[in-house]
Structure 1
Amino acid sequence: MLEAKLKESDIDPAALRYARALRAAAERAAGKGVGASAGGAGGGMSGSDLLGSAPNLLDWADKMTSQGIASITQGMKSLLGGGHKPAVARALEQLLDSKPEVEGYITLDPRAPRGATTPAPAAGRAFREAITFLVGGGSLHEQLSVKEVGARLQPPRGVVYGATELLSGEGFVEQLAKLGAKAGNPAH
């Protein structure tokens, strides 16, 4: 049903299939397994319940549709990192605060001799400014998270975010569809 709605909206359903395949792979990796029911306890109805009356059938269908959409929304939030700080923002925050987790990071200090890479600064020697640049697609969510990190720290730090490509929602769905086509849609 959802794929039909996507087709009606001129959206390639391969994007949804690919997102589902990614979610299934993430669930397998997390040990959750695949195929857990979206309805949970009380989510299903027996055949005799369904045949009882048309209103019950419609209520059941409405409930299943709502649960399915909620499940897809939750899956996309997990896939897209909804409610979580992007990795680039977490790394930037650690670098700007000179936390011990960044000892393995290599930084580029403009005051260092040409071509020299330096380890992250020692504890207590925090950066005042930073430029983050992602090779590949970036997102508005990442950009806003990076800006928030710079503004939230005390004292506030100047940060700049860049990426080789900033994607709109439509561009993201198009890339998912292309990846799904290249991957052969393992979900279907």
Structure 2
Amino acid sequence: MRAPDAGDGAGGVALRPPRHQADPRAVAWWTAQALILAVPVAGAAVAAYWLFTGHPVWLGVLVAGFAVCCLALALAGPRASYRVERWEVTDDAVYTRKGWLTHTWRVAPMSRIQTVDTARGPVQRLFGLADVTVTTASAAGPITIEGLDHELAAELAARLTAITQATPGDAT
């Protein structure tokens, strides 16, 4: 299968499965992020049940089920993401695939890349990880490769910058 002609004169970019996964430490980072959200939400539901109701059993079961689902999703979601998310950079394009139920493929030809950014949030720094974001002229928005080793992310950003500068085209 081939992507529609990207206007780079090469007749399009081949759409194929990207080869690389996020760093394995990304699972722990994604889990920490999910727990930072899920624990307070589940805790608030339990606290509201105890403080603002007459403790009906049916509502207690519902709140407990909600709390268990929050925590289960926080623990299982990152592992599922790790299994399906892929990325790759070639001399021609940046490829990504994301999504659990619906796989979203993104391909950015080098001639379309406008900026390359790296980002490291506070929790990412604890895990030694970083993200690389590739911005193009596409209305679909930037492509982000998440959960890379911070040194690999810096090398990847430098490589993308070098390839992009050497690629003919106006990045629009």
Q: Same fold (TM over 0.5)?
A: no
Q: TM-score, normalised by structure 1?
A: 0.28
Higher relative contact order (CA 8 A, sep 6+): 1
Q: TM-score, normalised by structure 2?
A: 0.30
The structure richer in strand per residue is: 2
The structure richer in helix per residue is: 1
